[in-house]
Chains A and B, each alone.
Chain A
Amino acid sequence: MADASIEFKGSSFTLTVLHFKTSKLIDIRTDLEKKVNQAPDFFYLVPVVVSIEQLEGNVDYQAIKNIIEEFNFTFVGFTGSIAKEQRKLIRELGFSFVNTAKANVSQKPVIEEPEIVVKEPIVVAEKPIEAAVEAEANSYSDKVHRGQIRSGQQVYAKDQNLVIIGSVSAGAEVIADGSIHVYGSLRGKAIAGAKGHHRAQIYCQDFEAEMVSINGNYMLSESMEKYWGDPIYIQLTDSELTLSKLI
């Protein structure tokens, strides 16, 4: 379908999940009102997936959708580990059911649908994009580059780890879907886990990087003074980059 006017592509998004802990809609409405009034602009038109996992008995799906829209959220669909019959019912009512990364996907999509990642909302301005599918670190092969990466050059290891035997100059960029190893000085930018692999790591013998990033979480050189010039490795722990000395 290369020449078609449209294209379906898989993509990852961070979506807010609203977990319903009770079917009592009166309580839901009270608590929602309190929450939304704390920061009305923040919640306005936010796409929301409703998790009904903790609910027992029959659920009034239509009523839930109505409440969500009453508070000006953009209703996306329902989610949660629920019985197949419930999912079928939701579909019959004309609502979407969104699979989580961990849930067993019993229906196989016929076309490549965008994979939506379910996440807790946190009142933070920016949040990194997480992959729906976690690639195993060991499954990537290495792309080896011998020699300097000069200023203005860019190397991208697609679906691979990147190993540079040499230094990465300031003004250069090294990017990998897997991990990045620099047997030399890292002075430019290193972007690991580019497609959303949060277990990717960055290793170098002499840390003088302008910027490092793992799975969209980045740090500028301004905040990395402590390890300047040392052999270190960088990993992502709970969405924060942590630096550790190599030896």
Chain B
Amino acid sequence: MARIIVVTSGKGGVGKTTSSAAIGLGLALKGHKVVLIDFDIGLRNLDLIMGCERRVVYDFVNVINGEATLNQALIKDKRVNSLSILPASQTRDKDALNKENVGKVLKELGEMYDYIICDSPAGIEAGAMMALYYADEAIVTTNPEVSSVRDSDRILGMLASKSRRAEEGLEPIKEHLLLTRYSPKRVEEGEMLSVEDVEDILSIPLIGVIPESQAVLKASNAGEPVILDTESDAGKAYQDVVDRLLGEKVDFRFLVAEKKGIFSRMFGG
């Protein structure tokens, strides 16, 4: 049975879809069978970030309503054939989703894949609740910024009480903190919350720190998940996240502002 991982946050715009795409692709590149599901019905964007928006015929809601089979709706990634995407509908309503029909789809996917990554919409309403309900693990994406931390705390409360595992008294969802858009320079200047500050408030284990990077915007617009940009800090940091998810112990990089030497300041960027 597949491991279901929800990428959630509470706050919008913190990097859930970027992270889902990067981590999903990273796991697939390591040989695992991965499916990415876009739970943001109506505001879909996972297919854009993955670069497969022109191959969407059927979507999640079509499958739920029995208008298409999973195999018709799933889009195989062109780069790694063990990775597929189940896009969301652009026109339909998220009311089409309920626990039973989502559970059925996940069960079917669970037999085909090793990892199911659910890209959650923002907020704490039905869409987000549906995305986290069946999760075994959660990657709580947080910016080092007060409202994001507060919203992440809220979503952690929901993970602990409104998930299937909570309702059935099973082992709780394994929670991971993913700190995105981190700027060590601003942390040193006291403008931004540090890793320690966020860990102190949220008290969940850290799975990665993704530095603020211009590579992310480039990657989104190109439809190439940033993990493929192996030169960029963000790409490297996502690679570390994938390794940690798979159980490796990796030191945290990009936590300290780079001190540029005189030569790189003269000749470098």
Contacts and interface: CB of A to CB of B under 8 A. Distances in A.
Nearest to B146: A170
Contacts of B161: 153
A226 B96 CA distance: 53
A147 B161 CA distance: 13
A169 interface: yes
B203 A171 contact: no
Contacts of B150: 151, 170-171
A35 interface: no
Contact of B153 (A166, A170, A185): A170
Contacts of A148: 156, 203
A151 B203 contact: no
Contacts of A169: 153, 201
Interface residues of B, number: 12
Nearest to B200: A185
Contacts of A147: 160
B157 interface: yes
A169 B150 CA distance: 8
Contacts of B151: 151
B244 interface: no
Nearest to A147: B160
B154 interface: yes
B14 to A, nearest CB: 16
Q: Kindly name the residue among B161, B200, B201 whose own CB sees the greatest number of chain A CB atoms within 10 A.
A: B201
A153 B160 CA distance: 11
Contacts of A150: 153-154, 156-157, 160
Interface in B43-61: none
Interface in B151-209: 151, 153-154, 156-158, 160-161, 200-201, 203
A187 B160 CA distance: 19
A94 interface: no
B198 to A, nearest CB: 12
B203 A167 contact: yes
Contact of A152 (B154, B200, B201, B203): B154
A169 B10 CA distance: 15
Interface string A151-180: 111000000000000110111100000000
Interface string B133-155: 00000000000000000110110
A242 B223 CA distance: 59
A147 B204 CA distance: 11
A166 B153 CA distance: 14
Interface string A176-192: 00000000010100000
A172 B161 CA distance: 14
Nearest to A208: B201
A148 B150 CA distance: 14
A69 to B, nearest CB: 54
Contacts of A151: 150-151, 153-154, 157
A152 B150 CA distance: 10
Given A150-B153, A150-B157, 13 more contacts: A148-B203, A151-B150, A151-B151, A151-B154, A152-B153, A153-B161, A167-B203, A169-B153, A170-B150, A170-B201, A171-B154, A172-B157, A185-B200
Leading 8 A-B pairs by shortest Cβ distance: A150-B157, A151-B153, A151-B154, A152-B154, A169-B153, A153-B157, A150-B156, A150-B153
23 contacts: A147-B160, A148-B156, A148-B203, A150-B153, A150-B157, A151-B150, A151-B151, A151-B154, A152-B153, A152-B154, A152-B157, A152-B158, A153-B157, A166-B203, A169-B201, A170-B153, A170-B201, A171-B150, A171-B153, A171-B154, A172-B157, A185-B200, A187-B201
